[in-house]
Chain A
């Protein structure tokens, strides 16, 4: 593998990222409720040797409105739990990383920690986790434990919004801290099975995490022995300075949303500055740029498909990430330019699933290989190995060594 080789991820969500995707998809409308559909997507991604796949999730119904349900019947509604999907995929895949999304606002850090550690055991070291904050009141209403003040997404710089968002991210940070401590709470060699003394574990190698924070406290240790990667990977989607700092402190991978190569370079510089500011130790963040991709054989066909989707949707589709429309060769050139600007790779969001994923795996990936930008297969090992990240020792093993 050359040092120029980039990392490729695919983001899976419903029948694709375009709101009208289901109108053109080659899969049935109810396919995202079946294991068969997800297995086929994961198999396709693994066939092209992609580094990892992510699975979107949310604790409320999809909506075209920022908060609460809408009155549309022409978009995909309903979804399955992302961790359940990822674990359903684990025994049927061998190499690809599996990164489900979960909320940090309404879920128990203890359950999150044990679920992702278990996913790591089941997959032989391919688990990751994308924590996200739940800022919507609709989600809070499903739990009835707290009220989230309303947020105007157009005015996130107002003091009220800054405080609310800051708190949500601070709580998410505590959640990740607890999850990570629990992952370390069993040393790798805790199970001893010592028949003469009758001891199954050496309890000196099990550790209380004794976390106390503003929102919760957690005693530990975990119920799950330390997993193959020790620390499964944590990925964060980040659009601004608060989440950049969160990622720099707590994540291994950051998904960012630049608009062009110059912007990509600027974001990478901002992420590196955030790493400096928070005093990040260990490997630097792997920075992957998010792109919605819509591929076709000719530029005209791709444009026409985009227009058709937008017409069906009734409006021009916009996204937090840039949307690229073109041939595999054109998009490969674009990725090469962005890669030169400093991103380590890309998380591609197929506009239509499975169609644009198939185009990625069968046409875009070969085009990247032709340019010497992507490896030909899997070198073997864990997801950490694939991303060049070392396996950390348990923080408690270091402390007692």
Chain B
């Protein structure tokens, strides 16, 4: 039997991948938008729905960034509500460990797992971001080098809390007057560098015991954390070869934690554009990239690399002749740094612009945001399947460019082709998200993360 593909639906985010200027673009905050995308994903038998998180509005040049979609709901609150309008779909939320405490987040996630019948998932992110920290009483004092220490300790503590109630603690024996089998259930103690806590957890063991743990991050530390502690890892590897190398690398790290290759799923985030013909799809892809990169956005993206005010430049004119400013603080705040070598990248861009005769906007369109899969439904299904069968991925998180209808075509036209090939489910078979992802029961915390 060929490998089965995992599919997840990413609600369009607050970045320029999401096109808001299109007449078909709906609200980023109305609950109906979330219901539409989640129900579409469930109609397509997707594994899970995915929400990103941002805890401070992004800024550039000291002002709130206003060119992309701005504003989003609270992750956990939306997921709990979506549990009411879906039946099988997994509900995954990005939740930052820097600005939360294990006791509180563990109980929220365990509650979501109960209220969804075992469909909760958590994308663990950890930042050392004092800018976002200004919104929190805790501040942002986490040392960058300690990010994965905190993440690992946070997850380990959460797992301890999720296991703190033995199975079947609540018996409800009315005649004997025994509600629980033991007094004061949920006892725990954790004494570590990041957290020093003890007491009793309030949430009885949930259907999955441990919600599914997702991890995004390409650094060696991130890969190691995923290998020790996560059920799935996201990546951004565009080509087959890069994907295969990443896949081999992370899967090879599992053995030292006593884990099997199937215990960690590799699920890159990808975009797609469909057309009736290949030419039509290519043309639509180009049109979408122009929508994603408005003249104003082109200048702004250029500023992120050059790290200086370029508002006087003509979006259709040539790139700046001087090199980027690498001396000062980043002018863009609230997003991850994207360019490890600004001067080198700038020189590449300049060379490419001269070679192809591109102005700023066309150059930016050329070098950023190229869609992952462009073609007819047959071509896209074929390429996706090839990616998975060639071990460049176990599945995909699809990132539509439109809210809320951006997934409709994919579900209507590509999913049936994957099903025909026998590489994607036609009905849900499991009851929990762990079941549907083919993950076994959660490993007890005592067996997780040990080298």
- The interface of chain A, by Cβ under 8 A from chain B, is 22-23, 28-30, 33-35, 39, 58-61, 63, 69-81, 83-85, 87-92, 106-111, 114-115, 117-119, 121-122, 138, 141-145, 186, 190-191, 193, 195, 197-203, 206, 215-221, 223-225, 312
How far apart are A119's CB and chain B's nearest CB, in angstroms? 6
CA distance A144 to B199 in the complex (A): 10
What are 10 A-B interface contacts by the 8 Å CB criterion? Answer: A59-B202, A61-B186, A70-B184, A80-B107, A88-B80, A106-B104, A121-B29, A142-B199, A198-B295, A215-B137
Q: Which residues of B contact A77 (CB under 8 A)?
A: 170, 179-180, 184-185
Given contacts A61-B186, A77-B180, contact A108 B84 (CB under 8 A): no
Interface set, chain B 88-140, CB cutoff 8 A to A: 99-101, 103-104, 107-108, 110-112, 114-117, 134-138
A121: which of B73, B108, B170, B171 is its contact (CB, 8 Å)? Answer: B73
CA distance A215 to B136 in the complex (A): 11
Interface set, chain B 361-412, CB cutoff 8 A to A: none
Which residue of the partner chain A has the closest CB to B176?
A74
**Known contacts A60-B200, A78-B185, then 11 further A-B pairs from the complex at CB < 8 Å, ordered by chain A residue:** A22-B174, A70-B183, A88-B83, A91-B84, A118-B77, A144-B197, A191-B71, A206-B70, A217-B137, A218-B137, A220-B135
Q: Are B55 and A143 in contact (CB under 8 A)?
A: no
Q: Which residues of B contact A63 (CB under 8 A)?
A: 184
Q: Which residues of B contact A28 (CB under 8 A)?
A: 172
Q: Are B202 and A122 in contact (CB under 8 A)?
A: no
Q: Are A225 and B29 in contact (CB under 8 A)?
A: yes
Q: Are A73 and B198 in contact (CB under 8 A)?
A: no
Q: Are B197 and A141 in contact (CB under 8 A)?
A: yes
Which residue of the partner chain A has the closest CB to B18?
A200
Task: Give me the 6 closest cross-chain CB pairs, A-B, nearest first.
Answer: A29-B172, A216-B137, A69-B184, A198-B296, A219-B134, A118-B77
Q: Are B85 and A91 in contact (CB under 8 A)?
A: yes
Q: Which residues of A contact B135 (CB under 8 A)?
A: 110, 218-220
Q: Are A88 and B71 in contact (CB under 8 A)?
A: no
Q: Which residues of B contact A111 (CB under 8 A)?
A: 74, 99-100
Q: Are A73 and B295 in contact (CB under 8 A)?
A: no
Q: Are A198 and B294 in contact (CB under 8 A)?
A: yes
Annotate B67-81 by CB proximity to A: 1 below 8 A, 0 otherwise.
111111110111011
Q: Which residues of A contact B201 (CB under 8 A)?
A: 61
How many residues on B have C-beta within 8 angstroms of the other chain's C-beta atoms?
78
Q: Are B83 and A35 in contact (CB under 8 A)?
A: yes
CA distance A29 to B56 in the complex (A): 42
CA distance A22 to B84 in the complex (A): 26
Does B313 touch A at the CB level, under 8 Å?
Answer: no
Q: Are B202 and A118 in contact (CB under 8 A)?
A: no
Which residue of the partner chain B has the closest CB to A108?
B136
Q: Are B20 and A193 in contact (CB under 8 A)?
A: yes
CA distance A218 to B132 in the complex (A): 10
Annotate B178-203 by CB proximity to A: 1 below 8 A, 0 otherwise.
11111111100000000111111111
CA distance A195 to B196 in the complex (A): 51
Q: Are B108 and A81 in contact (CB under 8 A)?
A: yes
CA distance A73 to B181 in the complex (A): 7
How far apart are A97's CB and chain B's nearest CB, in angstroms? 16
CA distance A29 to B55 in the complex (A): 38
Which secondary structure dominates where chain B touches chain A? Answer: loop
How far apart are B307's CB and chain A's nearest CB, in angstroms? 21
Does B64 touch A at the CB level, under 8 Å?
Answer: yes
CA distance A20 to B38 in the complex (A): 41
Q: Which residues of A contact B178 (CB under 8 A)?
A: 73-74
How far apart are A299's CB and chain B's nearest CB, in angstroms? 26
Q: Are B184 and A71 in contact (CB under 8 A)?
A: yes
Q: Which residues of A contact B55 (CB under 8 A)?
A: 110, 223
Q: Are B177 and A115 in contact (CB under 8 A)?
A: no
Which residue of the partner chain A has the closest CB to B82?
A91
Q: Which residues of A contact B20 (CB under 8 A)?
A: 193, 200
Does B30 touch A at the CB level, under 8 Å?
Answer: yes
Q: Are B73 and A224 in contact (CB under 8 A)?
A: yes
How far apart are A65's CB and chain B's nearest CB, in angstroms? 10
CA distance A58 to B180 in the complex (A): 19
Q: Which residues of A contact B134 (CB under 8 A)?
A: 217-219
Q: Are B183 and A69 in contact (CB under 8 A)?
A: yes
Q: Are B99 and A71 in contact (CB under 8 A)?
A: no
Does B244 touch A at the CB level, under 8 Å?
Answer: no
Interface set, chain B 239-269, CB cutoff 8 A to A: none
Q: Are A200 and B67 in contact (CB under 8 A)?
A: yes
A29: which of B78, B171, B186, B297 is its contact (CB, 8 Å)? Answer: B171
A71: which of B136, B183, B295 is its contact (CB, 8 Å)? Answer: B183
Given contacts A88-B83, A89-B84, A108-B138, contact A312 B170 (CB under 8 A): no
Does B46 touch A at the CB level, under 8 Å?
Answer: no
CA distance A110 to B75 in the complex (A): 13
Q: Are A201 and B64 in contact (CB under 8 A)?
A: yes
Q: Are A200 and B69 in contact (CB under 8 A)?
A: yes
Given contacts A35-B115, A60-B202, A215-B137, contact A73 B182 (CB under 8 A): yes
Q: Which residues of A contact B44 (CB under 8 A)?
A: none
